[in-house]
Amino acid sequence: MKRLSKAALLLLFLGLAASVYAIEIRFAPPDFQTDYTLPGERIPAPSAGFGAWDVLILFAALSTATWLVLKKRSRRGLFLLSIACMVYFGFWRKGCICPVGSLQNVAAAILIPGVGVSAVVVAFFVMPLIFSLFFGRVFCASVCPLGAIQELVAIRPIKISSSIERALGLGKYVYLGVAILGVGTGAGFFVCRYDPFVGLYRLGHSFNMLLAGGVILVLGIFIARPYCRFLCPYGVLLGWMSKFSKWHLDIAPQGKCVDCRLCESSCPYNAMDMPTPIHLMEKQDTGKKRTQRLVLLVPVITGIAAFAGYLLHEPLSRMHPTVQLSERVAAEDLKLIPEQILETEHFRAGSQTTEQLHAEALALRSQFKAGGALLGAFLGLVVSLKLVGLSVVRKRTVFEPHRETCFSCGRCYPYCPVEPEGTPNVAQERV
């Protein structure tokens, strides 16, 4: 009786399975005479998911970095902390998920309906930003695994001119814009795909990415932190927050500073602003007029850039795999390309028709029209606001770190000949 019911169940189940799924039962599963029982499937639980533990560690690391930057003013401490963070977030946690990449998860949750983001990922995204809003970019100083590894190799930094610095620095805005466009259209997570150091942390990646990581590290010996300065998309957000930070790393205060310029030359990131030189002081009218003209240009530049972005929708859309597949299939159909690749082979074997694929690709392309225009507008706005910022000559009387670009790495601390007031020094609050 027991065996009969078992067989009936099995038949029922097999009928169900065969009707719904592709598998075909050619050999009926045996009815064992011995007391053999089917081994259960081993289904181990996820181990790599980031938990509350990692959020706590990130918080502790950020707090320690803040303390080292603002209270202890210790370059050595920050250096040791960056080694610790590189080992934990990099080699131990294999660099995933990091706050830099988490911006894509948050963007996906905001832009794509139905996509969520876990609280842990949100915590990873928000915590460094909040710390930056109050204490400057302490996350970059020594917590970020990508920054830490570059900070460690920057042993012979050379100074590059600030104009080149500014021009190359626009790269991170482009990267941020393209990354969000990629997330919004479903093309992929580019920040993770082209993360140059994660391959090193995992001891394995595609050859090209390992090569890119190696090149950036070798370059980073001389041009300190090239990824952070010219590419890091999360750095853009951190910079915005840090610009308005309540407290920030600072060097000798007014009255104490001896104008030795040691801090300026010790900073490999061009992040130390010098007191405004006299030759830059201009008549207020001249400066005002120029700035006004530039402000009027903001919407013009933004509009032109938006239009340019719109015109670029076709090449931009090629970053989406569906558009790539559609173009490849079309080219094969027109006999422009003789042989098939695995992707098109599988597509042709599948149920989707060529027309459906092309229609899908066309719909995506029109998404890229809006996306490209938005990307262009964003970049135009950034460039024009930077121009306005350049036009405004701020009167500085002391050396002070540029809040947006300073990584709070503390390299200038040991160079300042002015003894901090009392020990440990309390960072100046500025309102």
Partner 1 sequence: MDESKKIGRRDFVRGAAAFALAGGTWAAVGTKAEGTVWQLDPNKCTQCGRCATHCVLNPSAVKCMNQFNICGYCDLCFAYLHPGSRERNTGAENLLCPTAAIERKFIEDPYYEYKINEDNCIGCAKCVEACLVFGNGSFYLQVRQDVCINCNECSIAKACPSNAWSKVPASKPYMFITGETPPGQK
Q: At closest approach, how far in Å is the CB of 210 from partner 1?
A: 11
Half-sphere exposure of 228 toward its Cβ, with a 13 Å CA cutoff?
Answer: 32
Q: At closest approach, how far in Å is the CB of 127 from partner 1?
A: 10
Burial pattern 375-413, b for ≥16 Cβ within 10 A else e, equals bbbbbbbbebeebbeebeeeeeebbbbbbbbbbbbbbbb
Closer residue to partner 1 in complex, CB, 79/227: 227
Tokens of residue 18, six digits: 């065969």
Q: Where are the alpha helices (DSSP H) in 162-320?
A: 162-184, 190-193, 198-202, 207-222, 226-230, 233-243, 262-266, 284-311, 313-317
Q: At closest approach, how far in Å is the CB of 164 from partner 1?
A: 29
Comparing C-alpha atoms, which of 236, 224, 267, 233 is closest to residue 249? 267
User: Interacting stretch for partner 1, rule CB under 8 A, among 155-163, 192-200, 225-233, 371-379?
Assistant: 192-200
Taking the C-alpha atoms of residue 241 and residue 271, their distance in angstroms, rounded to an integer, is 16
Q: Which of 72, 75, 172, 205 binds partner 1 (CB under 8 A)?
A: 205
Q: At closest approach, how far in Å is the CB of 158 from partner 1?
A: 33
CB 191 within 8 A of CB 101: yes
Judged by CB under 8 A, does residue 24 bind partner 1?
yes
Q: How many residues does the chain have?
A: 431
Tokens of residue 157, six digits: 């930094």
CB 250 within 8 A of CB 428: yes
Q: Which of 29, 299, 414, 424 binds partner 1 (CB under 8 A)?
A: 29
Judged by CB under 8 A, does residue 392 bind partner 1?
no
User: Interacting stretch for partner 1, rule CB under 8 A, among 107-115, 159-167, 173-181, 296-304?
Assistant: 107-115
Judged by CB under 8 A, does residue 244 bind partner 1?
yes
What is the pattern of x (binds partner 1, CB under 8 A) and - over residues 223-242?
Answer: -----------------xx-
Q: Which of 62, 68, 85, 121 binds partner 1 (CB under 8 A)?
A: 121
Comparing C-alpha atoms, which of 270, 268, 69, 271 is closest to residue 155? 268
Half-sphere exposure of 102 toward its Cβ, with a 13 Å CA cutoff?
Answer: 22
- Chain mean position to CA 232: 5
Closer residue to partner 1 in complex, CB, 122/262: 122
Phi-psi region of 229 (alpha: psi -120 to 50; beta: other; left: phi over 0): alpha
Closer residue to partner 1 in complex, CB, 137/205: 205
Q: Is 101 helix (H, G, I), strand (E, B) or coil?
A: helix
Q: Which of 342, 355, 394, 395 binds partner 1 (CB under 8 A)?
A: 342
Q: Which of 1, 2, 4, 23 binds partner 1 (CB under 8 A)?
A: 23
Q: Which of 156, 246, 288, 293 binds partner 1 (CB under 8 A)?
A: 246
Taking the C-alpha atoms of residue 171 and residue 345, their distance in angstroms, rounded to an integer, is 37
In the window 311-340, what residues touch partner 1 (CB under 8 A)? 321
Closer residue to partner 1 in complex, CB, 34/423: 34
How many residues touch partner 1 under the rule CB under 8 A: the total is 82
Closer residue to partner 1 in complex, CB, 120/361: 120
What is the pattern of x (binds partner 1, CB under 8 A) and - over residues 35-64?
Answer: -x-xxxxxxxxxxxxx--------------
Judged by CB under 8 A, does residue 3 bind partner 1?
no
Half-sphere exposure of 70 toward its Cβ, with a 13 Å CA cutoff?
Answer: 21
Q: Which of 14, 84, 312, 383 binds partner 1 (CB under 8 A)?
A: 14
Comparing C-alpha atoms, which of 119, 117, 62, 118 is closest to residue 89? 62
Judged by CB under 8 A, does residue 130 bind partner 1?
yes
Q: Is 4 helix (H, G, I), strand (E, B) or coil?
A: helix
User: Interacting stretch for partner 1, rule CB under 8 A, among 146-154, 185-193, 223-231, 394-402?
Assistant: 185-193
Closer residue to partner 1 in complex, CB, 204/424: 204
Main-chain dihedrals φ then ψ at residue 403, nearest 5 degrees? -65, -30
Closer residue to partner 1 in complex, CB, 155/349: 349
In the window 247-306, what residues touch partner 1 (CB under 8 A)? none
Q: Which of 90, 99, 101, 145 binds partner 1 (CB under 8 A)?
A: 101
